[in-house]
Amino acid sequence: MPELPDLEIYKENLKLKVLNKKITCALVIKPRVLKQLSASDFNQKVIGKIVKSIERRGKLLIFGLSSGDKIIVHLMLYGQLQWVETSKRKSADTCLILEFADDSLRFVDGTAWIKVTLDAKEIDRVGPEPLEADFTETQLQNILQKKQLGGVKERLVDQKLIAGIGNAYVDEILWEAGINPARAASLLKDKEIKALYQAIPKILKQAIKEVRQRLKGGISGEPRDFLAVHRKKECPRCKTKIKRIELNKKGTYYCPHCQK
DNA sequence: CGGTGCCCCTGGACGC
DNA sequence: TGCGTCCAGGGGCACC
C-alpha cells in the first residue's frame, strides 16, 4: 500500500503529466469508489476543467481544478495509477478514468477500495504533516501522551494524529529510533520521543529519495527493497534475526536487539 | 464520546 | 503444473 514517500513521488511525477491540462472526459466505471457522490455529479464537475495543482496530504492525492473544485483520491491498500494512451485496452479492474488530450489517468484496483471524492472536508480529517516545518517535538509528545492507553506503533499510524505513515514505514521509523513497536506510547521517555522526532523525517526523506530514484518518473509501484526491517530477515545493523509479531492485526517487524 | 471489532476484496504466497 | 486455502491490510462504521 502506498504511503507518504510513494505518494510524494506520484505527486511529483503526476505534475509533469497532467498539470495545466484539460480533463476532456471522465469515466466512472465502478461507482462504488465515489464517496457520497453520483457519477453524473462527478462527471459534470470535472469534465472540461483544467488541473491547476496537484498536492499530497497524508495519503491523499488532491487534484485542484480550474473551477476551484478538488478531486481527492485515496488509493487505500491496492489502488494503482496508470498513465496510458487513451486508446489502450483497459483491464477489468479499472475503476475510474480521467481522459486528457491524448492520454488518460486511470485508477485501477481489483478490490475497488479506492476512494474518490470532491468533498474538501476530507482533507482536514487528517493530522499534521510530519515533514512540514511546523511539526514540532511538542506536538509529537502530545500525540503520544494525550491518552494513557495505546501502543506507540498504533499511535503513529493513526491518520488523525499524524498524516501519511503506514504499516511499512512505521516499522522503519521505530527501528531507526530504537523503540520496540509494542511499547506504551504514553510511557516513552523524553529521550525516546526526541529520537522518534528525528527518525520520522529522516526515514521519510530518505525513502522519498529512494522511491524517486526507482520510479524513474513513473506513477506506480511501491519500492521496498531498501527497507531495514519491514518484511526483512535480519537486522542490517547487528545481523540479529528480525522478529515478526502482530499488533492490531497488522504484521509488525522489529529487531529485538536494537529496539527496546 | 471512546473503544472494539468487523467488513470491504483479491492477488499472491504457500501447501500438497 | 495446478488447484485449493489463507490472509494482509487502511479506513469506515455499527455497536455498546
- A217 burial class (0-12, 13-18, 19+ CB within 10 angstroms)? exposed
Residue A83 scores a pLDDT above 90: yes
Residue tagged 511525477 (cell numbers)? A13
* DSSP element (H, E) containing A83: strand A80-85
**Residue A214 half-sphere exposure toward CB, CA atoms < 13 A:** 15
pLDDT per residue as tens digits for the range A116-159 = 999 998 898 899 999 999 999 999 999 998 888 889 999 999 99
Q: Are A141 and A193 a contacting pair, CB within 8 Å? A: yes
Q: Residue A6 corresponds to which amino acid?
A: D
Rounded to whole angstroms, the distance from the CA of residue A241 to the C1' of nucleotide C11 is: 32
Residue A231 scores a pLDDT above 90: no
Question: What are the contacts of A31-35 at 24+ separation with CB within 8 A?
Answer: A32/A112, A33/A95, A33/A96, A33/A107, A33/A109, A33/A112, A33/A113, A33/A114, A33/A115, A33/A116, A34/A96, A34/A116, A34/A117, A35/A115, A35/A116, A35/A117, A35/A119, A35/A122
- What is the pTM (predicted TM-score) of this model? 0.95
Q: Which nucleotide is nearest to A157 (CA to C1')?
A: C10
List of residues 6+ apart from A157 with CB closer than 8 A: A165, A166, A167, A170
* DSSP element (H, E) containing A27: strand A25-28
pLDDT per residue as tens digits for the range A190-228 = 999 999 999 999 999 999 999 999 999 999 988 988 999
Alpha-carbon separation of residue A33 from A58, A62, A73, A127, A184 (angstroms): 19, 15, 9, 23, 36
Residue extents of the structural domains in chain A:
4-125, 137-254
Q: Which nucleotide is nearest to A147 (CA to C1')?
A: B2
pLDDT for the residue A228? 92
pLDDT for the residue A175? 95
The CATH number assigned to the domain with range A4-125 reads: 3.20.190.10
How far apart CA A222 and CA A135 sit, in angstroms, is: 26
Q: Find residue A2's DSSP bridge partners.
A: none
Residue A26 scores a pLDDT above 90: yes
Q: Are A103 and A85 a contacting pair, CB within 8 Å? A: yes
List of residues 6+ apart from A10 with CB closer than 8 A: A2, A56, A61, A81, A219, A220
How far apart CA A225 and CA A177 sit, in angstroms, is: 20
pLDDT for the residue A125? 87
Q: Mean pLDDT across the stretch A164-176? A: 93
Residue tagged 520510479 (cell numbers)? A215
pLDDT-wise least confident of A48-52, A190-194, A206-210, A233-237: A233-237
A74 touches strand C (CB under 7 A): yes
Q: Are A141 and A191 a contacting pair, CB within 8 Å? A: no
Chain C nucleotides reached by a protein CB under 7 Å = 8-12
Rounded to whole angstroms, the distance from the CA of residue A242 to the C1' of nucleotide B7 is: 31
A159 touches strand C (CB under 7 A): yes
Please determine, looking at this structure, whether the domain spanning A137-254 carries the CATH number 3.90.1150.10.
Answer: no
Alpha-carbon separation of residue A69 from A42, A72, A203 (angstroms): 11, 10, 33
